[in-house]
Structure 1
Amino acid sequence: MLLDDGAPVKLNVSLLGPAPVDKLEPHAQKEVVKGAAAVFGQGEEEEEGGIKKLKVPLVELDFSPAEGEKAKERLETIKQSVPHDKEALFKVKVGWDGLTDFEPTIKHRMVKYLGELEDDDLIMFVVEHLKDHKGPQKLVEGLEPVLEEEAQEFAINIWRQVIFESMACGEALQTERMTID
């Protein structure tokens, strides 16, 4: 193995590994048992066939759903805090760092808002717009030739979702495809 400066590094590797406890001298076996008790806490010693074994109580792990519930409650709070008003919504700063995969969200929004689409050009336009971190007013302007009067309402709908995911990411929460209605 070489380091950046080109100097070789010597490694000591043992293929034999540690000796099994039952092959050790009786006084060494006691030391291993004491060492294990020190590492794992107090346990009970049990002698089986001349070999002392240490029984260590299992630690019960708590996987209560309380953390998940707190995260869902926090997501609901964030969801309620996303502005509905166009002026206020378009002024919110987006944290783009945590936003990566826009396509499923955009596709879901388009189908929900416009119905089934024949081609994905409009979806790809919105996805590329978001990947390029362009603002919401530019999105409205880009959608107007296709959606006409509905462009602004649709852009607000998309932008609310972007803001929601950005705010959730800022608090290290996973939205898990939770949508804003």
Structure 2
Amino acid sequence: MQALEARIPHSPEVLFKEQVHWDGLPLFLENKIKPVIEKMMALYLGDVAGDALCNTIVGHLKARHLATTLIHTLRPIFPTKAHHIVVAIWRQLVFETEAHNRGYDSGSYMVSEESRDPE
């Protein structure tokens, strides 16, 4: 899994051009992608309930929208952090869809926190 993760770009310009294999999304959205979303919401919203925002992001992914569209959606709420939040979500998304496309079971493996700078 680490070798696959190493292939996932950190640069947003490159990352957002990566192919997302959307067909596998229902298999791991709730247990792999949603926890990343919830973690980002908790990090930047603190104790404020981010359920509605989390659901908005999940809906965005289910609709297969572009990463840049999600950034524009989040920018009014997170003017300086929207880009970072979407990169964190998108790295896990690309990782999971690529693992699924290759027939790998990623289990509990999550993309490294190193790419998720909270500043």
Q: TM-score range by the shorter chain?
A: 0.7 to 0.9
Q: Which amino acid aligns with 2:22?
A: W
Give the Cα separation in 2 of the matches to 1:176 and 1:117.
30
**Does structure 2 retain, via aligned residues, the 8 Å contact 1:94–1:163?**
yes
The answer to whether 1:150 aligns with 2:81 is yes
Aligned to 1:128: 59
Give 1:179 shift.
1.1
User: Which range moved further: 158-167 or 92-101?
Assistant: 92-101
The 5 A counterparts of 1:17-166 are 75-100=1-26, 101-113=28-40, 114=43, 115-166=46-97
Q: Which amino acid aligns with 1:84?
A: H
Cα distance, 1:152–1:97 mapped onto 2, change above 3 Å: same
| Count of residues in correspondence between the two structures | 107
Give the Cα separation in 2 of the matches to 1:103 and 1:145.
25
What TM-score results when the alignment is normalised by the length of structure 2?
A: 0.81
Bigger helix fraction: 2
Aligned to 2:107: 176
**Does structure 2 retain, via aligned residues, the 8 Å contact 1:94–1:166?**
yes
User: Larger radius of gyration, structure 1 or 2?
Assistant: 1
Give 1:129 shift.
0.4
Give 1:111 shift.
4.2
> Displaced runs of 4+ in structure 1, greater than 6 A?
none
Cα distance, 1:119–1:153 mapped onto 2, change above 3 Å: closer
Cα distance, 1:126–1:95 mapped onto 2, change above 3 Å: same
Paired residue secondary structure (1:97): helix
What TM-score results when the alignment is normalised by the length of structure 1?
A: 0.55
Aligned to 1:52: none
**Does structure 2 retain, via aligned residues, the 8 Å contact 1:103–1:123?**
no
Give 1:119 shift.
3.8
**Does structure 1 retain, via aligned residues, the 8 Å contact 2:33–2:92?**
no
Asked which structure has the greater RCO (Cα within 8 Å, sep 6+), the reply is 2
Cα distance, 1:119–1:83 mapped onto 2, change above 3 Å: closer
